[in-house]
Amino acid sequence: MMDYDVILIHPPAIYDFRKKPLFSGALGPTVERVQFIKVPLGMLSIADYLDRHGYKVLIDNLADRMVSSKAFAAEEHIRNVSARIYAVGLHFHHHSQGAIEVAKLCKKLHPDSLVILGGLTATYFHEEIIRKFGFVDAVIRGEAEKPFLELIRAFENQGRLTATSNLTYRTDTGKVGVTPLMKQSANLDEFEFTRFDLLEPKTSIFPSDVQPRGHLQVCRGCRYNCVTCGGSAYSYRTYFGMKRPAFRSPGKIVEDIKRLNQQGIRFINLFQDPRMGGSKYWKELMAALRREKLDIDGLSMDLFTPADEEFVREVATIGKQVVLYICPDSGAYDVRRAQGRCYSNEDLLRTVKLCHRYHIPVTVFFSVGLAGETQETIRETWELWEQLCSLDQAALIKGSFGGIECRLPIGGPIIGPIILEPGSLACDFPVRYGYKAIFGNLEEYIEVLSAPSWHQWINYETNLLKRDALIELIFESIQYSIHQREKYGLYDKFRATVERFQAQADMIAVAEVDRIMNLQDRAERESRLKSLRDALDSFLKDVNQDQGVRSG
């Protein structure tokens, strides 16, 4: 007898990250941090939908298990848990290598069970997956809750895969079958996104060292077309068949927050800009959040464009500590506009000042290496960041944010490098948008994402910058960000010194990895990569200890 009808598996980004020397560099301070252990919200709603219809379901966060314990044996774990269907998530492109390796393992250990993939990236590469990876039986494309239920019911009745909705599969004749997409969801109210009882382990939601945070979404889909984003309006329309976003009603969002409260979660991240639903929608949402007695210690929301005073005032009346996030990407208007964000620095600064007047901090995010970026335009970004940091500092001195942790609002990180996400406009039409795609199919993604260093994972060049120039620009931006954080009090001297040593070590690693990868002998390459990783770890450990003694 099977343990489960369906096991939904969230894989690590790189399956064997614990065995391979990896250099995460600009993407994160540790290899573990870039395994992306947070389960996508869609996986929670799929599990709930199947559970409500009578099927025994588990969300197995394999990435979390592998990060939490070096001794955890992934293969033995998968061997010992049985299911009729193993559904491996391939939503974020970062998981390409990990998802395919886990799918292969599931079929090897359970050859009589179905192995299927789903998510944004799986949807984009659906035909290639079925053509090239014989251990994957099918891909569920697009929205998956209802198509998954249709698939499992048909599989029960027929004992094999049939042409159910949203399915790409291998037909009886060995050809790739692609069925039509089901009509998109009108709204998200029939789904649930808080069923952590179906998730194991739960440490990604309830970590031991920080307060738990719950993630909710205003809608599925988007109205904007940021050209490097795989979740844009273009992407959802083209690959999910969604002509417009599907929204969750304010009442259901309030219910979600109450369910999170019941599970001890009081920090809420509300994804997507509620203004995309129109003024009636966002006003009803603000009124509901204000009216209900919700246990919220912190609430974050997204702004996809600058906000007017009416919206900011309504946010302020919620009566909770709110942080707003906005991502102009660049301080150079022409670069920002080419990315799909058509507003000026003046518009952005006006919004930040307005929010500060209503005691709302704003965290601002930037990217490095967009099309049109040069040494000159990146300095415009740095200048804008300087202005934002100055505004934050002035607001903090005035006590504008009350008791909020004082370091939170100051200058969000410059994010680099960007990736041309599968399904984005830039990925599908790179030349039109000023990019040169270095790799395009899933096999190439897997090969490159299996490389040891973050700089090898960059999948593009721009019309103005080759990869080496992009990497240099990223390092310059990191150095600038360290200087700014120290200048405005986000880093003390100890932290700033450690970060500078870390950045220097990352620069050395990039150059050394390139030299090592030119060696012909594989065993020698692996040995030298391990020695380099060990040497850098030892160096950074000594730096931390030395600076700790000095600061003490």
- Note if the bond before 250 is cis, omega within 30 degrees: no
- Tell which wins on pLDDT, 321 or 218: 218
Q: How confident is the model at residue 398 (pLDDT cuts 50, 70, 90)?
A: confident
pTM: 0.94
Among the residue ranges 261-275, 408-422, 447-461, 472-486, the one predicted with the least confidence is 408-422
Structure tokens at 468: 């080496």
Structure tokens at 432: 């039109």
pLDDT single digits (tens) 112-150: 999 999 999 999 999 999 999 999 999 999 999 999 999
pLDDT single digits (tens) 336-395: 999 999 999 999 999 999 999 999 999 999 999 999 999 999 999 999 989 998 898 888
pLDDT single digits (tens) 490-502: 788 988 999 999 9
DSSP result, 142-210: S--HHHHHHHHHHHHHHSS----TTEEEE-TTSPEEEPPPPPPPSBSTT--S--GGGEE--TTTS-SSS
Query: What's the one-letter identity of residue 390?
Result: S
Query: What's the one-letter identity of residue 456?
Result: Q
3 state SS of 268: strand
User: What is the widest separation between alpha-carbon atoms in the chain?
Assistant: 72
CB atoms within 10 A of CB 269: 16
pLDDT single digits (tens) 335-348: 999 999 999 999 99
Q: What is the mean pLDDT of residues 405-433?
A: 76
User: Could you tell me if 193 and 216 are in contact, meaning their C-beta atoms sit under 8 angstroms apart?
Assistant: yes
> What is the Cα–Cα distance from 277 to 225, expressed in whole angstroms?
16
Q: What is the mean pLDDT of residues 144-163?
A: 96
Q: Which DSSP helix (H) or strand (E) runs through 504? A: helix 493-517
Which domains are delineated in the chain?
A: 4-178 (3.40.50.10140), 210-415 (3.20.20.70)
Q: Give the dihedral sign, CA 512/517/520/523.
A: positive
For all residues of the chain together, what is the average pLDDT? 92
> What is the Cα–Cα distance from 118 to 8, expressed in whole angstroms?
10
Check whether 411 has a pLDDT greater than 90. Answer: no
Check whether 407 has a pLDDT greater than 80. Answer: no
Q: What is the mean pLDDT of residues 29-42?
A: 74
Check whether 227 has a pLDDT greater than 90. Answer: yes
Q: What is the mean pLDDT of residues 464-478?
A: 93
Q: What is the mean pLDDT of residues 426-441?
A: 94
Q: What is the mean pLDDT of residues 151-170?
A: 96
Note the pLDDT of residue 252: 98
Q: How confident is the model at residue 31 (pLDDT cuts 50, 70, 90)?
A: low
